[in-house]
């Protein structure tokens, strides 16, 4: 960080080199008058050149110092931002855990209270039953939310069941699973897993969790597309990674929603009427990150969305 | 309360009044005699005087928490059946609860009807004075033996190669013999989560288990398929605590 002050020495060094050159008698051809050196002219020219050298040096130093300052300032802001970001996500996680905790006891009591209605001596009437059922439905929905919150916090901490796995086979299984959904019949689903020149390399991973992650991504694609839309699941080797892409011809995602998609409980406008807890993508992200992979999303409103998961190739 | 003298006696231990106030009447109507304790210390005092047939025990409580109560009872060789109400919910934590000698556990918030079903199943399984399967070091069913400490499985004294998930699944089935296990319950107990297609995951591991232990699904010796519902470990299971060899 302090090294860039050395640039201030540049003018002095340039000046010194020129004076040295002159003194060494290398001379400058046009200082020779009739074959002999004209000392006055030599000194005058040397002085002019030193001045120029000095000026150029000062300009150079100023530019270099400014650039160096800006660079270190940028790096500092970047690290600060990253720190803030990771702190914020840790705080959010802790908050969700606490929320989960605080929801559990009241929900247990609520569900026990509701269960009491079905077994009391004067059972509720038809219209009361309808109201009670609706309350119970919402209590179950909240219970599911706490279960999903638990899953995410668990995923971030618990050890993985990692084994060498055939990612092609895994994707084939997910592809088969998703077709059990009736809505899948109204989409054009394509699977593309390379066999030539060689099959995909093996990965280290938790089979069940990766199935869960890819299932969620395909499930999302199903939810946000309409009949006759296409959904492609394709994989390929990409350097040290296997890249798996899930692409669809759905409505795409608005740019303002993109940065928040991976946050727990975030829902964009398009997602408000879609069933789900709002934790699916956060769960996917947690799973991919536990596998030291990365996940990227590219979307063009009106055209479609593609999600790319990169998992490191390892077979140890 | 119109409790009958021969109704099983349940001690419900939870510090949250809203829970005990709602759960106790529900359990009473389900045919149990219920007593309530608000923390672990009171629970321990009540156990000797009330002599319950089963404890429904919350984990997080002031003074003495549920796991401490469980440990203390088991150290004193008290084999009273215990169902833990966990809320930390970590799968590691749950596995630990079973190792420490809980007969079963439920994650809060739970369906109260599910609690009643679990209480009945545990009471059916429990025999006075006999060590519960969940605390056994080794589970034996005919030629099949599962060592829970080393997490190894033997068939006719020959060790089988199983994935950890399949071993955990077998251990859960063997500690709950003759009990119908829905795929959802197995997912929750062994995997710690469920999702729409997760039930297939269970089927995959059951198939792996059957292959390894040489069980024919059409004529099962150990694991029976209950169509449309789940699985059941049909062979009888005994516990061994002495070490093998």
The pLDDT > 70 percentage for chain A reads 86
SS3 for A113-145, per residue?
HHHHHCCCCCCCCHHHHHHHHHHHHHHHHHHHH
Helix axes A39-117 and B17-29, enclosed angle (nearest 10)? 40
Q: Does B199 touch chain A (CB under 8 A)?
A: no
Q: Pinpoint the alpha helices (H) of chain B.
A: 17-29, 40-50, 66-75, 91-99, 112-125, 164-175, 183-186, 198-213
In angstroms, the separation between the Cα of residue A272 and the nearest Cα of chain B is 20
Kindly state the DSSP code that residue B188 receives in the 8-state scheme: I
User: What is the rounded average pLDDT for all residues in chain A?
Assistant: 82
CB B69 within 8 A of CB B13: yes
pLDDT over 80 (residue A206)? yes
Segment holding A309, helix H or strand E: strand A304-312
pLDDT over 60 (residue A285)? yes
**Across the 245 residues of chain B, what is the mean pLDDT of every consecutive 10-residue run?**
71 94 94 94 92 92 88 88 76 62 85 92 80 80 88 90 86 89 85 71 89 87 91 88 48
Q: Pinpoint the alpha helices (H) of chain A.
A: 10-23, 39-117, 126-157, 167-178, 207-224, 280-290
Q: Give residue B3's pLDDT.
A: 46
Q: Which of A52-56, A174-178, B27-31, B87-91 has the highest mean pLDDT?
A: B27-31
Q: Does B195 touch chain A (CB under 8 A)?
A: yes
In angstroms, the separation between the Cα of residue B200 and the nearest Cα of chain A is 8
pLDDT over 70 (residue A132)? yes
* CA distance to A89, A98, B108, per residue, from A92 (Å): 5, 10, 22
> How far is residue B79 CA from its own chain's centroid?
13
CB A72 within 8 A of CB A1: yes
C-alpha span between A179 and A192 (Å, rounded): 15
A203-205 and B82-86 beta bridge pairing: unpaired
The dihedral sign for the CA sequence A163, A167, A173, A175: positive
Residue labelled with tokens 């009437």: A125
C-alpha span between A93 and A90 (Å, rounded): 5
C-alpha span between A250 and A15 (Å, rounded): 67
pLDDT over 70 (residue A45)? yes
Q: Which residues of B touch A101 (CB under 8 A)?
A: 87
Closest-CA residue of A relative to B108 is A104
B197 and A177 within 8 Å at the Cβ level: the answer is yes
Contacts of B237 (CB under 8 A, 6+ apart): B133, B139, B140, B141, B174, B175, B177
A212 and B195 within 8 Å at the Cβ level: the answer is yes
A107 and B26 within 8 Å at the Cβ level: the answer is no
pLDDT over 80 (residue A311)? yes
Pick left, alpha or beta for residue B63 (phi over 0 → left; psi -120 to 50 → alpha; otherwise beta). Answer: left
Q: Give residue A78's pLDDT.
A: 85
CB B111 within 8 A of CB B131: no
In which band, very low, low, confident or very high, does the pLDDT at A222 lie, cut at 50, 70 and 90? very high
B192 and A216 within 8 Å at the Cβ level: the answer is no
Q: Which residues of A touch B194 (CB under 8 A)?
A: 147
Residue scoring higher pLDDT (A84 or A184): A184
Across residues A260-287, what is the average pLDDT?
A: 75
Q: Within chain A, what is the greatest distance between any pair of CA atoms?
A: 130
> How far is residue B236 CA from its own chain's centroid?
16
In angstroms, the separation between the Cα of residue A226 and the nearest Cα of chain B is 21
In angstroms, the separation between the Cα of residue A284 and the nearest Cα of chain B is 13
CB A214 within 8 A of CB A174: yes
Q: Give residue A26's pLDDT.
A: 55
C-alpha span between B68 and B219 (Å, rounded): 44
Q: Does B2 touch chain A (CB under 8 A)?
A: no
In which band, very low, low, confident or very high, does the pLDDT at A261 lie, cut at 50, 70 and 90? confident
Q: Give residue B173's pLDDT.
A: 92
CB A14 within 8 A of CB A54: yes
Across residues A176-185, what is the average pLDDT?
A: 87
B163 and A163 within 8 Å at the Cβ level: the answer is yes
Across residues A78-105, what is the average pLDDT?
A: 79
Closest-CA residue of B relative to A120 is B29
In which band, very low, low, confident or very high, does the pLDDT at A24 lie, cut at 50, 70 and 90? low
Q: Does B155 touch chain A (CB under 8 A)?
A: no
A110 and B197 within 8 Å at the Cβ level: the answer is no
Dig out the tokens for B180 from the structure. 């119908």
Q: Give residue A25's pLDDT.
A: 58
Residue labelled with tokens 């033997």: B154
Q: Give residue B5's pLDDT.
A: 63
Buried b (16+ CB within 10 A) or exposed e, B128-153: eeebbbbbbbbbbbeebbbbbeeebb
Q: Which residues of A touch B22 (CB under 8 A)?
A: 109, 112-113, 115-116
Q: Which residues of B touch A150 (CB under 8 A)?
A: 89, 107
ipTM for the complex shown? 0.78
> How far is residue B156 CA from its own chain's centroid?
27
Coil vs helix vs strand at B223 = strand
């Amino acid at each position: 960080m302090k090294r860039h002050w050395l640039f201030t020495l540049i003018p002095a060094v340039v000046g010194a080199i020129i004076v040295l050159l002159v003194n060494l008698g290398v001379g400058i051809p046009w200082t020779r008058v009739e074959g002999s050196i004209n000392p006055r002219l030599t000194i005058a020219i040397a002085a002019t050149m030193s001045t120029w050298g000095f000026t150029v040096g000062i300009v150079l130093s100023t530019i270099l110092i400014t650039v160096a300052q800006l660079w270190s300032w940028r790096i500092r802001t970047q690290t600060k931002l990253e720190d803030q970001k990771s702190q914020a996500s840790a705080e959010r996680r802790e908050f969700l855990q606490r929320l989960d905790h605080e929801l559990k006891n009241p929900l247990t009591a609520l569900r026990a209270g509701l269960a009491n209605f079905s077994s009391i001596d004067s059972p509720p009437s038809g219209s009361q039953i309808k109201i009670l059922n609706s309350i119970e439905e919402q209590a179950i929905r909240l219970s599911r939310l706490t279960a999903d919150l638990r899953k995410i916090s668990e995923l971030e901490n618990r050890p993985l069941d990692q084994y060498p796995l055939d990612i092609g086979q895994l994707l084939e299984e997910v592809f088969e699973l998703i077709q059990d959904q009736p809505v899948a019949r109204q989409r054009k689903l394509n699977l593309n897993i390379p066999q030539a020149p060689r099959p995909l390399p093996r990965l280290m991973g938790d089979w069940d969790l990766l199935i869960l992650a890819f299932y969620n991504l395909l499930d999302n694609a199903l939810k946000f597309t309409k009949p006759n839309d296409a959904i492609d699941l394709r994989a390929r080797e990409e350097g040290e990674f296997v890249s798996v892409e899930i692409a669809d011809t759905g409505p795409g995602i608005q740019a303002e929603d993109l940065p928040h998609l991976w946050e727990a409980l975030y829902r964009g406008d398009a997602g408000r009427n879609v069933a789900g807890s709002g934790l699916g993508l956060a769960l996917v992200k947690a799973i991919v990150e536990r596998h030291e992979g990365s996940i990227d999303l590219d979307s063009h409103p009106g055209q479609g969305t593609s999600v790319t998961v990169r998992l490191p190739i390892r077979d140890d | 309360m119109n409790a009958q003298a021969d109704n099983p006696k349940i001690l419900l231990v939870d510090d949250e009044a809203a829970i005990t106030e709602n759960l106790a009447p529900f359990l009473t109507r389900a045919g149990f005699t219920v007593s309530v304790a608000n923390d672990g210390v009171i629970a321990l005092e009540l156990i000797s005087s009330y002599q319950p047939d089963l404890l429904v025990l919350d984990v997080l409580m002031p003074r003495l928490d549920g796991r401490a109560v469980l440990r203390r009872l088991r150290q004193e060789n008290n084999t009273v059946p215990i169902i833990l109400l966990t809320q930390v919910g970590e799968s590691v934590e749950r596995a630990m609860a079973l190792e420490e000698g809980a007969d079963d556990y439920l994650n809060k918030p739970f369906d109260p009807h599910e609690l009643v079903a679990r209480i009945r199943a545990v009471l059916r399984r429990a025999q006075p004075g006999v060590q519960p399967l969940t605390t056994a070091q080794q589970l034996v069913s005919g030629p099949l033996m599962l060592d829970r400490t080393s997490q190894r499985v033997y068939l006719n004294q020959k060790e089988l190669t199983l994935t950890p998930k399949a071993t955990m699944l077998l251990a859960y089935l063997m500690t709950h013999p003759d009990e119908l296990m829905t795929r959802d319950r197995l997912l929750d107990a062994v995997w710690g989560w469920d999702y729409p297609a997760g039930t297939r995951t269970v089927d995959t591991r059951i198939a792996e288990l059957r292959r390894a232990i040489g069980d024919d699904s059409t004529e099962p010796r150990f694991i029976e398929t209950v169509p449309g519902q789940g699985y059941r470990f049909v062979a009888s299971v005994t516990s061994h605590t002495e070490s093998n060899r």
